[in-house]
């Protein structure tokens, strides 16, 4: 794909992969290694009681507890089967604290080692939770500006929320990285070549999570079909769709792919995606006429999926995304 820069809504990224980590799969896998981000500041957990009778976990960076609620607040939305322990979440929370910001990770339901109450989990289009959480923060005294960043599936949720909310959003600005803008195309990409490795790994995690919450007698879906699913499409058709009120995988993907919401976003929003992301194809990049004037879509040639390692050494790596995303948000203080 050729990145044209005649329209400032779509720009070429300045990201360059580190000399020692150029391959897209190495970029993708490196951040999950134990030494990829060694700093583990203490977190404080709160339970968010949701309007539908369910609940989820919110992990706050404890070091920032002494900051006033007039300070900026950064809300992080994690990716598929991720949590506040994911390296990308820790990186940007640490960067936010260095800038005098409060921060937290709003977990998707049934994530972060926290089992929610209702017989459901999470999906790529669940925007009610972030909408309710931001309102709750405001009602509890947050007077400083609120920002959000979303990674992968969390980025899809965030962009959908922004498009749905328009001027009603309580966010000042937002950022998203490695977003599966078209769920169909991402599902197909993950069933091709070496990307099947990620699909297999994540499907095993998802099935294990389902087993912790349901069994074949309590599941509100076809248990055998769910446990035998070999692709994301099969799992979403068997589990995600029926658990969350969709007619099937096609209905779920149709309604929740975030590309269709980009034209309705009115808050300053940066999206950083990579052309070599093994979780998707360049075909997910939308045409200019589908992007609001308030959205800046930055396309990198490399970076893998939520990798973007651009320097340092294998033992002290440096990352592009925390600097870029937080830098963009700071421009809109």
pLDDT at 2 over 90: no
Check residue 7 and give its pLDDT. Answer: 61
Band of the pLDDT at 221, cuts 50, 70, 90?
very high
pLDDT at 6 over 70: no
Q: Which two tokens stand for residue 63?
A: 């070091």
- Stretch 223-232: mean pLDDT: 97
Supply the angle between the helices 128-139 and 153-165 in degrees, to the nearest 10: 70
Q: Rounded to an integer, what distance in angstroms lies between the CA atom of residue 217 and that of residue 284?
A: 39
Check residue 39 and give its pLDDT. Answer: 87
- Tell me the whole-structure pTM to 2 decimals: 0.96
pLDDT at 125 over 90: yes
Per-residue pLDDT tens over the stretch 11-43: 999 999 999 999 999 999 999 998 898 889 999
Per-residue pLDDT tens over the stretch 273-317: 999 999 999 999 999 999 999 999 999 999 999 999 999 999 999
Q: How far from chain centre, in Å, is Cα 198?
A: 16
For 140-164, the three-class secondary structure string (H helix, E strand, C coil) is: CCCCCCEEEEEECHHHHHHHHHHHH
Spatial CB neighbours of 304, under 8 Å, sequence gap ≥ 6: 24, 25, 26, 27, 28, 29, 274, 276, 277, 278
Q: Rounded to an integer, what distance in angstroms lies between the CA atom of residue 30 and that of residue 76?
A: 21
- The residue to which tokens 């149709």 are assigned: 254
Check residue 38 and give its pLDDT. Answer: 84
Q: Rounded to an integer, what distance in angstroms lies between the CA atom of residue 91 and that of residue 310?
A: 14
Q: Is residue 271 packed enough to be buried (19+ CB in 10 Å), middle (13-18) or exposed (0-12)?
A: buried
| Contact predicate 297/324, CB 8 Å | no
Query: Cα dist. 87→54, 113, 138, 220 in Å?
Result: 27, 16, 28, 33
Check residue 137 and give its pLDDT. Answer: 98
- The residue to which tokens 């879509």 are assigned: 297
Q: Which two tokens stand for residue 120?
A: 């459901």
- Stretch 253-261: mean pLDDT: 98
Per-residue pLDDT tens over the stretch 40-70: 999 999 999 999 999 999 999 999 999 999 9
pLDDT at 129 over 60: yes
| Contact predicate 152/178, CB 8 Å | yes
Nearest Cα neighbor of 77 from 103, 96, 95 is 103
- Stretch 168-189: mean pLDDT: 98
Length of the chain: 333
Q: Rounded to an integer, what distance in angstroms lies between the CA atom of residue 297 and that of residue 9?
A: 6
- Stretch 146-155: mean pLDDT: 98
Alpha helices (H) along 174-273: 183-189, 195-213, 223-227, 232-235, 241-243, 249-256
| Contact predicate 74/96, CB 8 Å | yes
Residues designated as active site: 152, 277, 305
Nearest Cα neighbor of 14 from 303, 279, 277, 294 is 303
What percent of the chain stands above pLDDT 70? 98
Per-residue pLDDT tens over the stretch 152-171: 999 999 999 999 999 999 99
Q: Rounded to an integer, what distance in angstroms lies between the CA atom of residue 17 and that of residue 98?
A: 24
Q: Provide the mean pLDDT of the chain.
A: 96
Query: Cα dist. 244→236, 238, 277 in Å?
Result: 10, 11, 28
Least confident piece of the model among 6-20, 175-189, 204-218: 6-20
Per-residue pLDDT tens over the stretch 89-124: 999 999 999 999 999 999 999 999 999 999 999 999
Band of the pLDDT at 4, cuts 50, 70, 90?
low
CATH fold of 10-182+257-330: Rossmann fold (3.40.50)
């Amino acid at each position: 794909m050729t990145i044209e820069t005649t329209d400032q809504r779509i720009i070429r990224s300045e990201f360059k992969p580190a000399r020692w980590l150029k391959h897209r799969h190495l970029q993708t896998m490196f951040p999950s290694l134990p030494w990829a981000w060694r700093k583990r500041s203490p977190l404080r957990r709160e339970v968010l009681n949701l309007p539908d009778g369910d609940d989820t976990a919110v992990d706050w960076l404890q070091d920032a507890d002494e900051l006033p609620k007039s300070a900026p607040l950064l809300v992080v939305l994690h990716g598929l089967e991720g949590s506040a322990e994911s390296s990308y979440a820790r990186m940007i929370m640490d960067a936010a604290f260095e800038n005098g910001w409060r921060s937290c990770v709003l977990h998707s339901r049934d994530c972060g080692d926290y089992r929610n109450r209702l017989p459901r989990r999470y999906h790529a289009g669940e925007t009610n939770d972030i909408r309710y959480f931001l309102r709750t923060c405001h009602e509890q005294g947050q007077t400083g500006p609120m920002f959000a960043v979303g990674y992968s599936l969390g980025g899809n949720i965030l962009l959908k929320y922004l498009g749905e909310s328009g001027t009603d959003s309580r966010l000042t600005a937002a950022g998203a990285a490695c977003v599966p803008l078209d769920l169909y195309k991402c599902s197909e990409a993950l069933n091709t070549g070496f990307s099947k490795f990620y699909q297999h790994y994540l499907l095993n995690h998802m099935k294990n999570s389902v087993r912790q919450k349901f069994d074949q007698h309590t599941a509100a879906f076809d248990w055998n079909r769910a446990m035998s699913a070999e692709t994301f499409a099969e799992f979403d058709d068997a589990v995600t769709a029926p658990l969350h009120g969709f007619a099937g995988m096609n209905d779920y993907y149709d309604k929740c792919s975030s590309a269709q919401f980009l034209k309705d976003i009115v808050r300053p929003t940066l999206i950083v995606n990579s052309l070599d992301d093994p979780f998707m194809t360049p075909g997910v990049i939308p045409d200019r006429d589908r992007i609001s004037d308030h959205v800046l879509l930055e396309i990198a040639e490399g970076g893998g999926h939520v990798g973007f390692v651009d320097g340092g050494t294998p033992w002290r790596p440096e990352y592009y995304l925390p600097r870029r995303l937080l830098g963009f948000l700071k421009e809109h203080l």
